[in-house]
Structure 1
């Protein structure tokens, strides 16, 4: 009987951790259950407390799998029919191993004083690591991206995604520590003080910062911006051969916008944003269709597409497009999608990626911020995958961007949650830099996001629809913009120091 009870207790902890990992997924967009995230993290923190590192690694990996497998289900929607579940399972497994490493580190530093703080620091540091390696990293599934509608979102203006992630993890770790204190029956006020501070301080700080967020324009005033969502056929991998359809759909959508403007149905915008991968241009950058649309609208376009340069290099770009001069200023995507836009290990990659045969060469990334002067706007640009990374819009805003835009092509992923997850990243970036963000997607979700992270307009998936809105322009700088990568490096150094100290004490 005792043996059976012991085995049952052994199973309860992994079961609780797996349930918590799935709960963290349930807290992710498009669901607004942001408050579930710290509760889910609390279960992981409680489970690894007092454990050996290898047990922490196993429990962390289990938590990561339960979270990331459903979160990344859009990979199966995209590739499953032709490649089976292996790309989806492989990416989720590799990312879950990072969460496992975080679990091992959490178990180790849980022996230190102020354990909730060190536990949070270690987890967020590992998040930053997996956002950088391998192959440029994969930032999807950070704690911060669960908070697009949450009380912790205002903290993005202080320290970006790192600050928001720390708030979630610290609150969860504090809750876990309170649970342990309750279980131990501790009556010492000092024993309760630290965990209570860990729980309440992030909540209080988020509430304190919230009133500082507003949507008022700066001295630059406002701009009227339109986003064209021309739609795409829902073909999954079949979209690889439908570049011409994408282009024609978006030219037609822009033509419809021009007709509405000329008929007085909508006011004339100052700028029109078209999504990623609308065009495909050779070195001459010729596109009479785009020039015709720009002429009818009477305003410049910002349009995304693939461009082959005179040096033979292929780049994913956004061009300023004028009626009389065609392609002008340009921005090249900084963070390329591994196994799609850049393909390591091509012989192996052919087994899991259709892009090996489509692109015979890797695209070339940029290392400069995307800032284009278009009409009254100094436009900061991050193309699709760029928005998941902390450095892209930080660089653009430091270069004077007064408005941000995310041209993206998510038509590969069907009616999955991927577009909603990406929109949450745009909401966080809006608050982080105090800028409005215009998302222009081929098939949705296109959106207009205010500087406080509020979505004021959005489209449905796989619909043809244009958005037009007056958005505030700003040149002010948030603490997060000013600090840039400092919070990330501070957390990484603190985590490394905590791990070293805990390891030395463990040997002692």
Structure 2
């Protein structure tokens, strides 16, 4: 057996996998968020010693080392609730990991194939990584889970810049830091002081990072001052902890209503009570007996209720089903509703259903929902307004932006994370909401069936949160801020600029190569 070819093939994967595991360690679960500042360095340094083909595979290796432990929870979710056998669930997980890893593969290939002066390496790397994360956010319905910037949710000083550049702006800074370390390590390996170009590049990187931390320090103090002078709303979130295997069993409807009633009556008086996504396991308003019980509870509490419900309406092709958030007045009268707009493929609907008929059982536990048509219109409770993001909608920054642009003075997200079990997925999901608070300078209220529920203030500070798989009611005064941030008004303009720059550089490089071949 020849070991040298195998050795030569596997050796480049060692730094690649190291980078992947370091990236994973920066996210909730391990929670070593400073690792994101240097996680890409092993991969990046290894690119000089390998071919372009090996660089692409090394990038895929980094993605595999990162995404496989980050989203492994998809496998038990598909097995337990999707009805798939373990082998099929594992295949789905590996296919998704491979897809996500293609982006890191393209990043590594771009760093290898498109050389730039060493002083510009950090900026080229940051442009490429952000462009690819922006594509991943929207392509094929989008799956921006694991966007690098989200790792910094505990780093309150750094993430204040998200009110200008969004979470992808934080990603840019992290890759910039990684690139500057690459330049420094290369200079150290050569035992030579970096040249003028390199020093200029390093100096610019340091200036940018210092400016962002200075901005964050002063902005944090400013926002805290604004919070102290802002009005507030007293809001309660209900975490009923209904087991997923009982949630849609009609035999447990009375028990479910009893649980929500008991917890909700503990919370009053307050301005708004928030129940999680699809809290009611029946069609509110269409099933009269349980609906009347809910109405009686609301009237007894004498306050506004925001409740997650499944909804249905007749159409020419039968019934259409919606994942809905319904606002009820203290008299139990509907005051408005929002239907989930961004559905989860294979979780709430099956794309290309005629071709993928075998995948329908994946939606059996959650329902086969239709895309909402209500749009990002805030719901009113008393003198307050709230934008409602249902489940995975919180991971898409533009949805929260649209609600705030339309007048929401707080953001509410309701979800059912029971699917995730006792994995780190619930904390990953919760941490993403921190950035929606900072980007728009709005308080975020989160109600989850099994947790994590809690409150986040406009600075991104987590005011209070629950443990998972506990039944409880949290009540808190949350600040209500007005005005619109630069990010709210302009969105991901910087990420879009990175995307344009990335494609222009790639096209110019390709044209130059083609032109040289014709000479």
- TM-score normalized by structure 2? 0.88
1:337 deviates by: 0.4
Query: Does 2:462 match 1:455?
Result: yes
- Classify 1:358/1:29 alpha carbon distance in 2 versus 1 (closer, same or farther; 3 Å): closer
Does structure 2 conserve the Cα–Cα contact (< 8 Å) formed by 1:405 and 1:438?
Answer: yes
Query: Does 2:68 match 1:58?
Result: no
Within 2, Cα distance between the matches of 1:99 and 1:243?
46
CA deviation map 1:140-162 (0-9, x unaligned)? 11101111012431121111111
Query: Does 2:110 match 1:100?
Result: no
- Give the match for residue 414 of structure 1: 421
Within 2, Cα distance between the matches of 1:171 and 1:155?
15
- Give the match for residue 487 of structure 2: 480
CA deviation map 1:325-362 (0-9, x unaligned)? 53331112121100121212446756566334567855
1:222 deviates by: 0.6
1:423 deviates by: 1.0
- Classify 1:414/1:7 alpha carbon distance in 2 versus 1 (closer, same or farther; 3 Å): closer
Within 2, Cα distance between the matches of 1:243 and 1:211?
54
- Classify 1:366/1:495 alpha carbon distance in 2 versus 1 (closer, same or farther; 3 Å): farther
CA deviation map 1:110-169 (0-9, x unaligned)? 4356122111111111111112122x0111111011110124311211111111111111
SS at match of 2:40: helix
SS at match of 2:234: strand
Does structure 2 conserve the Cα–Cα contact (< 8 Å) formed by 1:223 and 1:473?
Answer: yes
Within 1, Cα distance between the matches of 2:211 and 2:342?
35
Within 1, Cα distance between the matches of 2:462 and 2:345?
30
SS at match of 1:382: strand
Within 2, Cα distance between the matches of 1:51 and 1:196?
29
1:487 deviates by: 2.3
Does structure 2 conserve the Cα–Cα contact (< 8 Å) formed by 1:227 and 1:273?
Answer: yes
- Classify 1:494/1:90 alpha carbon distance in 2 versus 1 (closer, same or farther; 3 Å): same
Query: Does 2:149 match 1:144?
Result: yes
1:227 deviates by: 0.3
- Give the match for residue 22 of structure 2: 23
- Give the match for residue 337 of structure 2: 330
Within 2, Cα distance between the matches of 1:399 and 1:62?
43
- TM-score normalized by structure 1? 0.90
- Classify 1:416/1:298 alpha carbon distance in 2 versus 1 (closer, same or farther; 3 Å): same
Query: Does 2:298 match 1:291?
Result: no
- Classify 1:259/1:144 alpha carbon distance in 2 versus 1 (closer, same or farther; 3 Å): closer
1:494 deviates by: 1.4
Within 1, Cα distance between the matches of 2:34 and 2:360?
36
1:89 deviates by: 1.8
- Give the match for residue 237 of structure 2: 227
- Classify 1:30/1:249 alpha carbon distance in 2 versus 1 (closer, same or farther; 3 Å): farther
- Give the match for residue 195 of structure 1: 202
1:427 deviates by: 0.6
1:504 deviates by: 3.6
Structure 1: 5+ residue stretches without partners:
262-267
CA deviation map 1:172-226 (0-9, x unaligned)? 1121122122223333343233134325523541342232132434876110000
Does structure 1 conserve the Cα–Cα contact (< 8 Å) formed by 2:78 and 2:362?
Answer: no
- Classify 1:57/1:332 alpha carbon distance in 2 versus 1 (closer, same or farther; 3 Å): same
Among residues 499, 505, 509, which one is paired with 1:498 in the alignment? 505
SS at match of 1:313: strand
1:257 deviates by: 3.2
Does structure 2 conserve the Cα–Cα contact (< 8 Å) formed by 1:253 and 1:465?
Answer: no
Among residues 131, 137, 156, which one is paired with 1:131 in the alignment? 137
1:31 deviates by: 3.9
Task: State how many pairs are aligned.
Answer: 496
CA deviation map 1:236-274 (0-9, x unaligned)? xx467447748843652343331464xxxxxx1111111
> After alignment, is 27-36 or 7-16 more displaced?
7-16
Q: Counterparts of 1:304-453 in structure 2 under 5 Å?
A: 304-311=308-315, 312-346=319-353, 349=356, 354-357=361-364, 361-366=368-373, 368-453=375-460
Query: Does 2:304 match 1:300?
Result: yes
1:484 deviates by: 1.4
Within 2, Cα distance between the matches of 1:19 and 1:230?
41
- Give the match for residue 48 of structure 1: 47
